[in-house]
Chains A and B, each alone.
Chain A
Amino acid sequence: MSASGRPIRPDLPDMLDVGGRQARRRRRGIRALEAAVAVPVVLALLLIGALLFDVITDTVSWQVIEPAGSGRSFSFAEGFAALGAWERVMRLELAARGVSDADADALLADPDERRVLRARNRVELMPWVDGRPFRWLVTTARDDLVADVPLIGGAGGRRELLASAEAGQVVVLNAWLDAGFLSRNASRSPMTAGLLPALLGSLLLVALVIVIAVPLGVGAAVYLEEYAADTKISRLIELNLSNLAGVPSVVYGILGLTVFVRLMRLGPVVLAGALTLALLVIPVVVVAAREAIRSVPPSLRQAAYGLGAARSQVVFRVVLPSAIGGITTGVVLAIARTIGETAPLLVLGAAAFVPRPPDGVLSTFTAVPIQIYTWVSENDVEFTHAASAAIVVLLAVLGLLYGLAFYLRRRFARRW
């Protein structure tokens, strides 16, 4: 041990590592660590990508159909009409089925017959029919499915499909998420099933939930931020709110089933569903509204009080107008939650087959996620395509809502 050695840690080298080899090794180690901990982020992205890819490709499939209709398809030009494409193609199909022009006129003029035709026949511009692109084809609820090949991996089998198709069978590339999907009623047959009742059900549900949950949630937030002193009551409410946020949504469903559906004898109707979901999203609204209210500068409240505003006037004229951006963001997030929530509605008994849109708040209903659930649990490949089409719609709406929330958050970023 030299005199210049290290008296406390003689085990360590005497000199600084001036060559930088060790530093380089360390830097490499840190970079490797960074890469390792970034893996889950990549995995998450991959998962989202796989999910989107799977869902979107599931909305298109190759099918061999034994048609109950004429089995004829018509060129884009033949069936095209700016507004009345449905009627034009229907006429062509009726003619192909051997219905005389006069009878077709009579059928299409009678509103009841028209409705039946609409419900039973799906008139769509198919991307590909029997080897030719973009053809109008009328499919029906009574068509027989011979084969359904997924889009991915089905391309090679396309020729085989064409070759194997017997006389009278049609090979078609079916885009399930077509123009009519959103406007058709529900159906027992996947081919003609549409999302309209579920879409309108969800819309009505959201409207009711907003009407119920927003005033209550914002009111609770105002109480906690502007009125409550640090008393036992306000502490109880706070503790309770944070626990409510952790109650599984399925338990809310049981509360709704017992209180709204059975005790209040509403039955499994839109109002019962909305009341249940409102209870579920109130904590979401409260949290967002409290944060927004808290970000209103105290100097504004002081100014208002100093001018002789009563507490309620301070709330309605200063605090809420200034907090509106944050509150709106919370409302958008609550809408997103409402739209995607499934379990409580299932428990309420909303899973029954509902072919038509709700006609009031006391009407039985279905909603988009419920429809997805029932279609998936049909365990039928065609219903699976319908489910994936519905999922694409649901995710698109949610994407818009999250985008809106993101925009609002930036737009109303506090400027004080």
Chain B
Amino acid sequence: MTQLRLKPAARARERIVGGLFLACAGLSVLTTVGVVLVLLSETTAFFADPAVTFREFFTGTQWTPLFADQRFGILPLLTGTLMVTGIALVVGVPLGLMSAIYLSEFAQPGRRRRVTSVLELLAGVPTVVLGYFALLFVTPLLQRVVPGLDLFNPLSAGIVMGFMILPIVSSISTDAMQAVPAPLRQAAYGLGATKRQLIWRVVLPASLSGIVASVILALSRAVGETMIVTLAAGQRPLFTLDPRETIATMTSFIVQAASGDQPAGSLASRSLYAVAATLFVITLLLNLVSQIVVRRYRERYE
């Protein structure tokens, strides 16, 4: 009976549909390739320019590509980024870990859901709104306490960003803590451990890699965050570690340079790509490391 044989039309249709789905999935690879190609070509052109040297780029302490006297030392942008993200981690990691302990070890399921959605809300506030809040609410508040605080400063940007990364730290760490097997907990209780001892000696050590992964991911998010720093930390690349002074980060420089409409192909425009490439490499490495760490803790318990 020939009806059972493959019909070329039906087979072709299935092939085409499957191919379309594959193309959709492949587009994501294309996006990555596009990002890498764009950054690579312009960054290569940037370093090919005689006015730029690798040595200056990585060790110079002045970053003035948009001025007549162009200097290309990325260190001020790195220290700016470092300061803001450092402050954000100092605020966000302890708070995130505490709320993770609360959610995983204390809260009843109903309250856990409610608290989680409050934290998700925090993550859902657009960063431009957080930037507004940092500049117009937190900075005036801080200026009453911190003498010599500039209007634009990494301190208030970092504090607000700390609350932005709190939900990231909290949700991943909560998952990691809840993945600690019940027999392990029962064993600790059976030996007469108190709840505090259980948390400190069993839960936290067992979920350490998940916690580390959450911190790295939060760090990566903070490094790439743009609007809070652009609005509240300023756009003045200054080689300093004083959190009261106006600085610039890699991301705020990118916004500044791009919205200043530098002609394509100019050295100023290419410097933007060099900064973006640096940013891309840093966040990519952080993401890869956090994925590896997460995979390791999954393997241990599954």
Give chain A's interface residues, CB within 8 Å of chain B.
Answer: 26, 29-30, 33-34, 36-41, 43-45, 47-48, 50-51, 54-55, 58, 215-220, 222-224, 226-228, 233-234, 236-237, 240-244, 246-255, 257-259, 262, 279, 282-283, 286, 310-312, 315, 336, 339-343, 346-349, 351, 369, 372-373, 376-377, 384, 387-388, 391, 394-395, 398, 402, 406
User: How many of B's residues come within 8 Å of A, CB to CB?
Assistant: 85
Cα–Cα distance between A240 and B32 once the two chains are bound (Å): 7
**In the bound complex, do residue B118 and residue A394 qualify as a contact, i.e. CB atoms below 8 Å apart?**
no
Cα–Cα distance between A406 and B120 once the two chains are bound (Å): 12
**In the bound complex, do residue B258 and residue A394 qualify as a contact, i.e. CB atoms below 8 Å apart?**
no
Give chain B's interface residues, CB within 8 Å of chain A.
Answer: 10, 13-14, 17-18, 20-29, 31-32, 34-35, 38-39, 42, 94-96, 98-99, 101-102, 105-106, 115, 117-119, 121-122, 124-133, 135-137, 163, 166, 170, 194-196, 199, 217, 220-221, 223-227, 230-231, 251, 254-255, 258-259, 261, 264, 272-273, 276, 279-280, 283-284, 286-288, 291
Cα–Cα distance between A194 and B218 once the two chains are bound (Å): 37
In whole Å, how far is A319's beta carbon from the nearest beta carbon of chain B? 12
* Given A29-B196, A250-B254, A262-B264; A372-B118 close (CB under 8 Å): no
In whole Å, how far is B48's beta carbon from the nearest beta carbon of chain A? 18
> CB-CB < 8 A to B96: which residues of A?
40
> CB-CB < 8 A to B101: which residues of A?
37
Residue of A nearest to B23 (CB): A219
**In the bound complex, do residue B29 and residue A222 qualify as a contact, i.e. CB atoms below 8 Å apart?**
no
Cα–Cα distance between A30 and B279 once the two chains are bound (Å): 44
**In the bound complex, do residue A394 and residue B22 qualify as a contact, i.e. CB atoms below 8 Å apart?**
no
**In the bound complex, do residue A43 and residue B126 qualify as a contact, i.e. CB atoms below 8 Å apart?**
no
Cα–Cα distance between A289 and B106 once the two chains are bound (Å): 32
> CB-CB < 8 A to B132: which residues of A?
55, 372, 376, 387-388, 391
Partner of A220, one of B21, B121, B124: B21
Residue of B nearest to A53 (CB): B137
**In the bound complex, do residue B226 and residue A248 qualify as a contact, i.e. CB atoms below 8 Å apart?**
yes
**In the bound complex, do residue B27 and residue A220 qualify as a contact, i.e. CB atoms below 8 Å apart?**
yes
**In the bound complex, do residue B13 and residue A249 qualify as a contact, i.e. CB atoms below 8 Å apart?**
no
In whole Å, how far is A331's beta carbon from the nearest beta carbon of chain B? 15
Top 10 nearest A-B pairs by Cβ distance? A248-B224, A219-B24, A340-B126, A343-B226, A40-B95, A246-B287, A223-B21, A220-B25, A37-B102, A312-B17
In whole Å, how far is B91's beta carbon from the nearest beta carbon of chain A? 10
In whole Å, how far is B103's beta carbon from the nearest beta carbon of chain A? 8
Cα–Cα distance between A260 and B243 once the two chains are bound (Å): 38
Partner of B106, one of A38, A241, A347: A38
**In the bound complex, do residue A41 and residue B32 qualify as a contact, i.e. CB atoms below 8 Å apart?**
no
**In the bound complex, do residue B28 and residue A286 qualify as a contact, i.e. CB atoms below 8 Å apart?**
yes
Residue of B nearest to A263 (CB): B38
In whole Å, how far is A64's beta carbon from the nearest beta carbon of chain B? 21
In whole Å, how far is B188's beta carbon from the nearest beta carbon of chain A? 14
**In the bound complex, do residue B255 and residue A347 qualify as a contact, i.e. CB atoms below 8 Å apart?**
yes
* Given A347-B259, A391-B129; A41-B21 close (CB under 8 Å): no
**In the bound complex, do residue B14 and residue A312 qualify as a contact, i.e. CB atoms below 8 Å apart?**
yes
Cα–Cα distance between A227 and B195 once the two chains are bound (Å): 47
In whole Å, how far is A40's beta carbon from the nearest beta carbon of chain B? 4
**In the bound complex, do residue B280 and residue A247 qualify as a contact, i.e. CB atoms below 8 Å apart?**
yes
**In the bound complex, do residue A33 and residue B195 qualify as a contact, i.e. CB atoms below 8 Å apart?**
yes
> CB-CB < 8 A to A222: which residues of B?
21, 24
Sample (11) of A-B pairs whose CB atoms are under 8 Å apart: A30-B196, A33-B195, A37-B98, A242-B291, A254-B258, A279-B31, A340-B127, A342-B226, A343-B127, A347-B259, A349-B258
**In the bound complex, do residue A369 and residue B25 qualify as a contact, i.e. CB atoms below 8 Å apart?**
no
Cα–Cα distance between A215 and B166 once the two chains are bound (Å): 33
> CB-CB < 8 A to A233: which residues of B?
22
In whole Å, how far is B228's beta carbon from the nearest beta carbon of chain A? 10
In whole Å, how far is A385's beta carbon from the nearest beta carbon of chain B? 11
Cα–Cα distance between A391 and B26 once the two chains are bound (Å): 37
With A220-B24, A369-B227 given, name 14 new contacts (CB 8 A). A41-B99, A41-B119, A44-B119, A218-B24, A237-B28, A242-B287, A247-B284, A248-B224, A248-B283, A251-B224, A251-B280, A312-B17, A369-B128, A387-B132
Cα–Cα distance between A253 and B224 once the two chains are bound (Å): 12
In whole Å, how far is A272's beta carbon from the nearest beta carbon of chain B? 13
> CB-CB < 8 A to B122: which residues of A?
44, 47-48
> CB-CB < 8 A to A224: which residues of B?
25
> CB-CB < 8 A to A395: which residues of B?
125, 129
> CB-CB < 8 A to A402: which residues of B?
121, 124
In whole Å, how far is B167's beta carbon from the nearest beta carbon of chain A? 8
Most buried by B among A41, A233, A346, A347: A41
Residue of B nearest to A375 (CB): B132
Partner of B102, one of A41, A58, A369: A41
Partner of A219, one of B21, B32, B125, B224: B21
Partner of B259, one of A44, A258, A346: A346
* Given A44-B122, A246-B287; A227-B18 close (CB under 8 Å): yes
* Given A58-B136, A311-B14, A349-B259; A237-B284 close (CB under 8 Å): no
In whole Å, how far is A44's beta carbon from the nearest beta carbon of chain B? 5
**In the bound complex, do residue B102 and residue A343 qualify as a contact, i.e. CB atoms below 8 Å apart?**
no
Cα–Cα distance between A47 and B102 once the two chains are bound (Å): 18
